[in-house]
């Protein structure tokens, strides 16, 4: 089974589209999206 881990997109929709199209061409069975957690200092 082939899988992809996708992370740190940062709103770059063209890059995300390219990655997902490449995954489809390469028969990726499962994709996991990891998101970056940001925390603002409110102090």
What pLDDT, on a 0 to 100 scale, did the predictor assign at position 21? 92
Residue whose token pair is 């409110």: 42
Domain ranges of the chain: 3-34
Q: How many whole angstroms separate alpha carbon 19 and alpha carbon 28?
A: 11
**pTM score of the predicted model:** 0.63
Residue 43 has pLDDT above 70, yes or no: no
Q: What DSSP letter does each residue of 1-43 carry, written as one string? A: --EEEEE--TT-HHHHHHHHHHHHHTT--EEEEE---------
Look over the chain and give the mean of its residue pLDDT values, rounded to a whole number: 78
Query: In the predicted model, what is the mean pLDDT of residues 3-21?
Result: 84
* Nearest-angstrom CA–CA distance, 27 and 9: 21
């Amino acid at each position: 089974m082939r899988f992809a881990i996708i992370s740190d997109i940062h709103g770059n929709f063209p890059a995300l589209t390219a990655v997902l199209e490449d995954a489809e061409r390469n028969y990726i069975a499962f994709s996991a999206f990891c998101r970056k957690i940001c925390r603002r200092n409110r102090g």
